[in-house]
Structure 1
Amino acid sequence: MKTTAPVPQEKTMIKTDSTRGRIGLMVAHCAGMLDTVALPVWVGTLVAAYHFDPQQAGLLVTLFLGGVVVASVLLAPRFNRLSGRAVSTLGFLACALGFGAASLTTDFVMLALVHALCGAATGAALSVTHGTIALSARPHRLFAIVNTALGIAAVFYLGITPQIVAKAGGPALFLVFGAVMALAALVSLFAFPSAETAPAAAAVAGAPTMQAPARFGRAVWFGIAGIALVTVTQAMVFSFVERVGNARGFGAEAVAGVLIALGFVNLLPAPLAALLERRLPARLVLVSAPVVQAALAVTVMNTTAFFAYGAAASVIVAVAIFSHTFAFGLLARLEPTGRALSATPAMLMTGAAIGPVLGGTLIKFFGYGSLGIAAIVLCCGAVLCYSRLPRQSAAAPRPTPAPAQA
C-alpha cells in the first residue's frame, strides 16, 4: 500500500498567524519603516550637526529611500521564489554595518554612498516582509498590527533619540539606526515566518499560476500611484516639521514635545483601522484622507500659532497610517498573489524619496509656505487615483492560505 511521507519542514515552519511569526514581522516592519519615524530627526541632524543645507540633507535621505525603491522593484517580481527569512536577515545585517560605517565619516560623498547602499539592503528586507503579510489570511488586520508596533516604536524613538543626538553628537544618530537594524537581523533569523500561498484566493480572483503571473489590473496601478502621491506629501512635510517649528520660534523643547505627542497619536490609527475594517468602505477612506492631509500640511507650514502647529503636526502621520492600512487590505483583495504588496516599499519610498529633496528645494527657493501649495496639488492627484478604485466595502476575509512547502 502506497503511503505519503510527511514533510519534515512542517514541524519547524513559522506561520504568519503564530505569535512568533507576528513578532518577526513586527520587528522587520518597524526596522524597515524606520525612515517614516526618523525623518524629522534625521534631516534635522544632518542640517544642525553636519551643517548641510536643507537640499543636501534632503538628498541624503532621498538616496536612502531611492535604494529602497530600486531593491523593492527588482525583488517584487521574484518574491514567491525567495526565502523571506534569508533576505530579511541578510538585508538588515548589511544595513546595520552600513550605518555603523556612516557614523565614522562626515564626508558628503561617502555618506551619500552609504545611504544608497543601506537603502537597498533595507528595501530587500522590507519587500519580503510586506509580501509575507499580504499572503496572510487577514492582511488588513495583520498590517494594522505591525503598524501598531511601529507606533509604539516611534514613541521610544522620538522620545529618546533627539536627546542622545544632542548629548553625543550627529554620529550617534547612525549608531542608533545601526543598533535597530542589527536587532531586526537577529529577530528575523529566529522568528521571520515562512511565506504562505493562497491558492483558493487566487482561484477566486482568476489569477493564473506562478509560472505565468498576470499583469496587474488598472485598479491596482491606480492604487499604487495614489499611495505614492500620499507618501510624497507626507515625506515632504514631515521631513521639515522640526525645522519649520524652530524657524517660527516655537523653541526646541516645544517642538520636541510635539514630536513626542505625534508618537503617541500614531498608536491610534492602526488599531482603529483594524476595528473599522468592515464598517467603513475602503474607497471612501482613501478618497477622503488626502483632503485632510492637504489641510494639515497647509496649517503646519503656514501657521504662526503654536497650538495650530502642534495639533496639525501631531496627527498628519496618523492620517496616512490609517488610510494606508485600508489601501493595503484593498490591494490584497485586488491582487492576491502577493507580488503587488511585496512592492509596498517601492510604493511608499518612491514618494518618500522624492519628498525630502522636493521639500528642501522648495524651501530653499520659495520658503516653507510653498510646501502647503505643493501638498494641495499632490493630494488632488491622490484623490483622482483613489477615485478609480472599485466601489466596495470591506470584504470577507480571504480563504485560509495553505502553507508553502519549503
Structure 2
Amino acid sequence: MITTDSRRGRSALMIGHCAGMVDLVALPVWVGTLVAQYRFDAQQAGMLASLFLGGAVLASIALASRFDRLNGRLVATLGFGLAALGFGVAAGASDFATLAVLHALSGMASGAALSATHGTIARSGRPHRLFAIVGMALAVFGIAFMGATPPLVAQLGGPVLFQVFGGVMVVAALAAALAFPVADAVRTPVQAEGRAPLPAVVWCGIVGIACMGLVQAMTFSFLERVGSDRGFGAAAVTGVLVALGIVNFAPPALAALLEKRLDARRVLLGGAALQALLVCVIMLSTQFIAYALAASVFAAVMIFTHTFAFGLLAQLDRSGRALAATPAMLMTGAAIGPVLGGTLVKSFGYGSLAIAATAIAVVALLCFSRLPATGATPRQRALA
C-alpha cells in the first residue's frame, strides 16, 4: 500500500500539487499570452483565467464534503487526464467562446484532482511539513516554467502555452495512476468526526485565505503587463518573473523549519498585511528597482502564509474536508481576481488594484484575528 510516508506517494502528491496549482506559477504568462498573442483585451484575458479558476472552485466545493468517501487515486487520475485533454483541444482554438468553454471544463477537471491531492495531504501524519514539501516542488516547477515557457511562446505562438499545460497534466495523471497514496493510518481514526459541521473558526480561516487568493490573482495576473506598460522592457520583466520563481523556493523550506517556532495566527496576520503593501509598491511605483524587488517576493508571501494556514486548519479539522476544499479557498478569490483586476485596470488604471488590495486585506485581517493561536487548547479553540 502506498502512503504519504513513502517516496512514491510523496512524489505523486508533489506532481499533483504542481499541476493543480499551475495558475499560481503561470498567471502572468497566461494572461500576458492571451493579450499579446490572441489579441484579447485585459478584461477578456482575465475572464478566461477566471473561468478556469471558477471551474476548479465548483469542482472543489462539490467534492470536498465527500472527500473521506472518495477514491483519491481515481479522482486525481481522471481529473488530470481530462484537464490534459481540455488544454490539448484549446491549443487548436483561437476564438473566445471556444476557449471560454475549454477553460471552464479544464478548471473543473484539475480542481477535482487537486482536491483529492490536498485532502490526502491534510490526512497525513504531518500536514504542515508535507504541504511545505509540495510547496518546494512547486517552486522548482515555477523556475523551470518561467525560464522556458515565455521564450517558447514568443517564438512559436500562443498555442504552445496550452500544449505545455496539457503536458503537465498528462504527467500528473500518470503519476496519480501509478503512485497516488492513501491517507495515513494515524489520521483515519478521526474519520467519524468528519460528519460534524465544520467549526466556525475554520470558516474564518477559509474566508481569510480566499481573500488573500483574490489579492494574489488580481495582482499576479497583471504583474507582467504592468511592467511592460511602464516601459521596463520584455527582457527585464522576464528576468523578474524568473527571479520570482527562484525566490519561491525559500518560503516552503522556511515554513517547514519554523513550524514549531512561529505562531500560525501571527504569520497569517502579518502575511495579509505584507501582501497588500507589496501590491501598492508594484502597481504604484514607476521605478524598475522598486517594482522588481516587490514583484520578486510577492508570491513568496502567499506561499509562506498559506503553508501555516494549511497546518493550522489541519489541526482544527482532522477530517480533511476543509483542506480538501483548498482549491476552493484559493481559487474562489483567484477566480474573481483576473476578471476583477482586468475590469479595474481597463476602467481606472493599475493604481486601482492597490486600493482594492488594501480593502480586501482588511477583510482578511478581520477573519484571521478570529483564529486561535497555535498553542491554544482544544477548549480555547472551541471558544474562538
Q: TM-score by structure 2 length?
A: 0.96
Unmatched tracts of structure 1, length 5 or more? 1-12, 396-406
Structure 1 contact 66–119 (Cα < 8 Å) conserved: yes
Q: How does 1:209-358 map to 2 (within 5 A)?
A: 209-210=193-194, 213-358=195-340
Which residue of structure 2 lines up, in the alignment, with residue 36 of structure 1? 24
Which residue of structure 1 lines up, in the alignment, with residue 380 of structure 2? none
Task: Compute the displacement of 1:201 (Å).
Answer: 6.5
* 1-structure distance, mates of 2:138, 2:352: 30
Structure 1 contact 282–393 (Cα < 8 Å) conserved: no
The number of residues matched between the two structures is 377
Q: How does 1:70-219 map to 2 (within 5 A)?
A: 70-196=58-184, 198=186, 202=190, 208-210=192-194, 213-219=195-201
Moved over 4 A (4+): 197-201, 207-210
Unmatched tracts of structure 2, length 5 or more? 378-384
Amino acid at match of 1:161: T
Taking only the aligned residue pairs, the percentage that are identical comes to: 61
* 2-structure distance, mates of 1:276, 1:340: 23
Larger radius of gyration: 1
- Deviation digits for residues 82-135 of structure 1, max 9, x if unmatched? 111111111111010110100111010000000000000001100000000000
- Deviation digits for residues 251-307 of structure 1, max 9, x if unmatched? 000000000000000000001000000000000101111111111000000101000
* 2-structure distance, mates of 1:81, 1:201: 14
Structure 2 contact 283–354 (Cα < 8 Å) conserved: yes
Structure 2 contact 187–318 (Cα < 8 Å) conserved: no
Task: Compute the displacement of 1:226 (Å).
Answer: 0.3
Amino acid at match of 1:89: T
Which secondary structure does the structure 2 equivalent of 1:65 belong to?
helix
- Which structure shows the bigger proportion of residues in helix conformation? 2
* 2-structure distance, mates of 1:199, 1:191: 20
Amino acid at match of 2:96: F
Which residue of structure 1 lines up, in the alignment, with residue 381 of structure 2? none
Amino acid at match of 2:113: A
Q: TM-score by structure 1 length?
A: 0.91
Structure 1 contact 280–393 (Cα < 8 Å) conserved: no
Task: Compute the displacement of 1:81 (Å).
Answer: 1.2
Amino acid at match of 2:355: I
